[in-house]
A and B are shown apart, each in its own frame.
Chain A
């Protein structure tokens, strides 16, 4: 079945460091791919998404490129801030079967801690 695998955390970085969180997936066809962020005690917020191969999603300095050949959607940010400390989830929305109402499959999450 479809699945998402993320690099294990926690990831601890100093402010202004470069961030990469790896995400790979297994799916039939061309799923849509997402990154969600969860701040402590809160629900999930959509960070960025890509719906087809070679698309680049970007938001708030974060970006990720949909790589069909490597089945990856790695999250990157050039310079992290303390306020970026959160848990990041990679997710896919299966293409098949249709009309699932947007069902999402999540990776296990990666906790990011940014120190001043």
Chain B
């Protein structure tokens, strides 16, 4: 168990349009989901932490008005890239967190989605 899906896996859009990416935990409830951005041959950069039913916490330097995150249920978080531009082209990866079977709540384990390749023309 602990499968996380993302949809779409790949999207191409025109500059100025908005794109929504979905992240779902398929077989567990995730109170916390994370959104990462990965540039070619580089590490994952945490964009924001999303908690169900509350506003997302954005990392320093990430524009919250450009990258809208909604975590409406315990199994779904969405990332909307608004007014996308070519520099937003990237690989976006989400992860969902759940507590391990034993230990304190701080020992949450993250399970990653397969990623979404966004290309803005």
- Determine which of A36, A41, A42, A102 lies in contact with B32 in the assembled complex, contact meaning CB atoms within 8 Å: A102
Min CB gap B33→A, angstroms: 8
Name the B residues within 8 Å of A100 (CB-CB). Answer: 49, 106
Give the number of residues in A that approach B within 8 Å (Cβ atoms). 24
The A contact surface, by secondary structure, is loop
Set of chain B residues within 8 Å of A109, measured between Cβ atoms:
41-43
Write the nearest CB–CB distance from B116 to chain A, whole angstroms. 10
In the assembled complex, the CB of A85 is this many whole angstroms from the nearest CB of chain B, namely 14
A106 touches B113 (CB 8 A): no
Q: Does B108 contact A (CB under 8 A)?
A: yes
Interface flags, B107-121, vs A, CB<8A=1, else 0: 111111111000000
The interface residues of chain B, by DSSP majority, are classed as strand
Which of A16-24, A43-51, A62-70, A74-82 lines the interface with chain B? A43-51
Assuming the A-B contacts A43-B93, A43-B112, A44-B112, are A103 and B34 also in contact, with contact meaning beta carbons closer than 8 angstroms in the complex? yes
- Identify which of B41, B93, B108, B115 contacts A102 (C-beta below 8 A): B108
Q: Which residue of B lies closest to A4 (CB)?
A: B43
Contacts of B108 in A (CB 8 A): 101-102
* C-alpha gap A5/B120 in the complex (Å): 31
A105 contacts which chain B residues (CB < 8 A)? 46
B31 proximal to A (CB < 8 A) = yes
Give A contacts to B, CB under 8 Å: 32, 36, 41-46, 51, 89, 95, 98-109, 111
